[in-house]
């Protein structure tokens, strides 16, 4: 099963980055391949809101919508995404945000996926890898626009 993992130090706080990633409705504004995102439902409560969201991704002639369950755990500064429906046979990803003593935070992103169609997998698999590599950068650039550019960390 294909997977991708990255860790990136950013100059924004863990809470700022958590809020930015949790704001899923804004993804189409800046996230590669994300054409649309609609939150179907939002359950608030016990410090761990849960969203059910439809995300439409587009790449060349490929356009698919999939549904995920997004759990926002502010206490542990983690966001987990569980796949519910769509073109994948499996999709899971996790974000975590760890404050750094010198300021800013460490953003960790992990995703693993498998498309149901081997043909589709061969067509877009390499593109997905490139896109996931750009995700962390896209979120950091979005944070700079939303919160302002902060001095780089050593």
How much is the pLDDT for 122? 66
* Helix-then-strand count for the chain, H and E: 2, 7
In this predicted structure, the answer to whether residue 30 has a pLDDT above a threshold of 90 is yes
CB-based contact 92:76 (threshold 8 Å)? no
Q: Locate all alpha helices (DSSP H) within 24-110, ordered by sequence.
A: none
pLDDT in tens, 2-11: 788 889 999 9
Kindly state the average pLDDT of the residues 67-75: 95
Reported pTM: 0.88
Sorted by where each begins, the domain ranges of the chain are 3-147
Q: Which of 61, 62, 84, 68 is nearest to 27 (CA)?
A: 68
Domain 3-147's class?
Answer: alpha beta
Write down the mean pLDDT value for the chain: 88
């Amino acid at each position: 099963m294909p997977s991708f993992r990255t860790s990136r130090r950013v100059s924004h706080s863990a809470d700022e980055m958590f809020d930015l990633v949790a704001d899923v409705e804004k993804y189409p504004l800046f996230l590669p391949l994300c054409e649309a995102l609609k939150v179907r439902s939002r359950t608030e409560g016990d410090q761990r809101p849960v969203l059910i969201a439809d995300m439409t991704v587009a790449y060349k002639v490929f356009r698919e919508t999939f549904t995920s369950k997004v759990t926002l755990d502010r206490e542990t500064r983690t966001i987990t995404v569980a796949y519910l429906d769509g073109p994948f046979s499996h999709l899971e990803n996790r974000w975590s945000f760890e404050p750094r003593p010198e300021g800013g935070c460490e953003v960790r992103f992990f995703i693993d996926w498998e498309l149901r169609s081997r043909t589709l997998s061969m067509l877009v698999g390499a593109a997905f890898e490139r896109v996931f590599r750009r995700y962390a950068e896209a979120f950091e650039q979005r944070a700079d626009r939303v919160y302002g550019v902060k001095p780089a960390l050593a």
